[in-house]
């Protein structure tokens, strides 16, 4: 089926006719479908608000979800949404023109959160945290107005890993962005169907499809971010030991509360001699020769 292109939705047409690209596209579809099934994201007949920033990740997300829907593997309605936050230099016509040309149902919303962020954040500090909270609040509002049950975001495997290490290094906790959660008000799901997808695959896919990428540095606050520092560390590990990212990601799906230190997750005080977890045999083998 991946050789058939004539009847594909417009957003998937014009793909390179190479074996390498077909393998990439097939892998993306498989990994997104696996994440959706693993974390129980589908409610038949639901409506999803698919957030489109104009970056490589959100284009990949929208294209793969559209393909799954076209193949009858995703029985939900999709509504693409871009929130124009009033950042200086944001090319406001790119996404509306793209989505119209691709025949994608969409909503473009303007909300000048940029001015609020500039006013509230001291000079020299990064805007990202407050900007993200304001963006999320607007997206929740739009989802409710459009009758959507889920807000769908383009965070991929590498984003999830970087967030884990940011929390570890700077937040003092073991946590990351989950593939599925319920918002604080309890009325919307938040999904991350790209949870199993590598950032490099998103980049290759969006580039090969020639989607009109909008850079994520319009506000000028990206340099020196903690996330960039963590990314550099992970890049170094991956360069020395290819496949390290995937191994670390798998560990997030294989936690052992009895071998951590959180008494809220495991009843250490109630542990008795002779109980199944009294011994040390559940310890995973240690990797040797690692940094």
DSSP 227-254: HHHHHHHHHHHHHHSTTHHHHHHHHTTS
CA atoms within 13 A on the CB side of 134: 19
Percentage of the residues of the chain whose pLDDT score is greater than 90 = 73
CATH number reported for the structural domain that contains residue 88 in this entry:
3.40.50.620
- What integer pLDDT is reported at residue 129 of this predicted model? 75
- Give the containing element (helix H, strand E) for 66: helix 56-70
Inside any domain, residue 281: no
* pTM greater than 0.75 (yes/no): yes
- What integer pLDDT is reported at residue 255 of this predicted model? 93
Inside any domain, residue 287: no
- What integer pLDDT is reported at residue 286 of this predicted model? 45
pLDDT over 70 at 220, yes or no = no
- What integer pLDDT is reported at residue 3 of this predicted model? 57
Inside any domain, residue 194: yes
Query: What gap in Å lies between CA 8 and CA 6, rounded to an integer?
Result: 6
- What integer pLDDT is reported at residue 287 of this predicted model? 42
Mean pLDDT of 192-213: 97
Mean pLDDT of 35-41: 98
Query: What gap in Å lies between CA 291 and CA 289, rounded to an integer?
Result: 7
- What integer pLDDT is reported at residue 2 of this predicted model? 58
* Residue-wise DSSP of 27-43: HHHHHHHHHHHHTT---
- What integer pLDDT is reported at residue 6 of this predicted model? 58
- Mean pLDDT score of the chain, rounded to an integer? 89
DSSP tag of 57: H
Percentage of the residues of the chain whose pLDDT score is greater than 70 = 89
- Reduced to 3 states, what is the DSSP secondary structure of residue 81? strand
**85 neighbors 135 (Cβ within 8 angstroms):** yes
- What integer pLDDT is reported at residue 116 of this predicted model? 86
pLDDT over 50 at 288, yes or no = no
Helices (H) and strands (E) in the chain, counts: 9, 6
- What integer pLDDT is reported at residue 223 of this predicted model? 45
Mean pLDDT of 74-96: 93
- Which of the listed ranges 58-62, 115-119, 133-137 does the model predict with the highest average pLDDT? 58-62
DSSP tag of 258: G
Distances (CA, A) of 259 to 142, 176, 223, 280, 286: 42, 19, 37, 9, 13
pLDDT over 70 at 222, yes or no = no
- Which of the listed ranges 62-66, 84-88, 135-139, 283-287 does the model predict with the highest average pLDDT? 62-66
Inside any domain, residue 84: yes
What does the pLDDT look like over 126-161, one tens digit per residue? 777 788 888 899 999 999 999 999 999 999 999 999
The number of folded domains in the chain is 1
- Which of the listed ranges 6-10, 200-204, 226-230 does the model predict with the highest average pLDDT? 200-204
Query: What gap in Å lies between CA 106 and CA 100, rounded to an integer?
Result: 8
pLDDT over 90 at 30, yes or no = yes
Mean pLDDT of 199-219: 89
- What integer pLDDT is reported at residue 5 of this predicted model? 55
Give me 248's structure tokens. Answer: 């670390």
State the Cα angle at 29 between 196 and 182, rounded to 5°: 50
Inside any domain, residue 259: no
- What integer pLDDT is reported at residue 275 of this predicted model? 74
**Residue 26 structural domain:** 10-240
Mean pLDDT of 229-253: 95
DSSP tag of 120: H
Query: What gap in Å lies between CA 67 and CA 36, rounded to an integer?
Result: 14
């Amino acid at each position: 089926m991946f050789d058939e292109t004539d009847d594909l939705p417009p957003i998937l047409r014009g793909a390179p006719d190479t074996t390498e690209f077909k393998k990439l596209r097939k892998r993306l579809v498989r990994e997104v479908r696996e994440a959706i099934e693993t974390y129980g994201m589908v409610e038949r007949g639901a409506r999803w608000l698919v957030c489109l920033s104009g970056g490589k990740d959100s284009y990949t997300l929208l294209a793969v979800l559209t393909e799954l829907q076209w193949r009858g593997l995703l029985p939900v309605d999709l509504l693409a949404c871009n929130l124009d936050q009033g950042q200086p230099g944001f090319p406001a016509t790119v996404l509306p023109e793209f989505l119209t040309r691709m025949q994608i149902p969409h909503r473009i919303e303007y909300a000048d959160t940029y001015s609020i962020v500039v006013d509230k954040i001291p000079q020299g500090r990064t805007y990202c945290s407050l900007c993200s909270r304001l963006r999320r609040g607007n997206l929740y509002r739009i989802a409710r107005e459009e009758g959507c049950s889920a807000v769908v975001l383009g965070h991929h495997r590498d984003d999830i890993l970087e967030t884990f290490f940011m929390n570890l290094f700077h937040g003092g906790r073991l946590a990351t962005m989950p593939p599925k959660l319920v918002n604080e008000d309890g009325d919307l799901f938040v999904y991350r169907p790209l949870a199993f997808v590598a950032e490099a695959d998103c980049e290759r896919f969006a580039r090969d499809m020639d989607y009109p990428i909008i850079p994520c540095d319009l506000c000028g606050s990206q340099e020196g971010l903690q996330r960039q520092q963590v990314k550099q560390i992970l890049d170094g590990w991956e360069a020395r030991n290819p496949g390290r990212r995937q191994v670390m990601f798998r560990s997030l799906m294989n936690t052992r509360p009895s071998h951590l230190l959180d008494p809220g997750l495991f009843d250490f005080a109630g542990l008795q001699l002779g109980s199944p977890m009294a011994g040390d045999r559940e310890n995973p083998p240690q990797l040797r020769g690692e940094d």
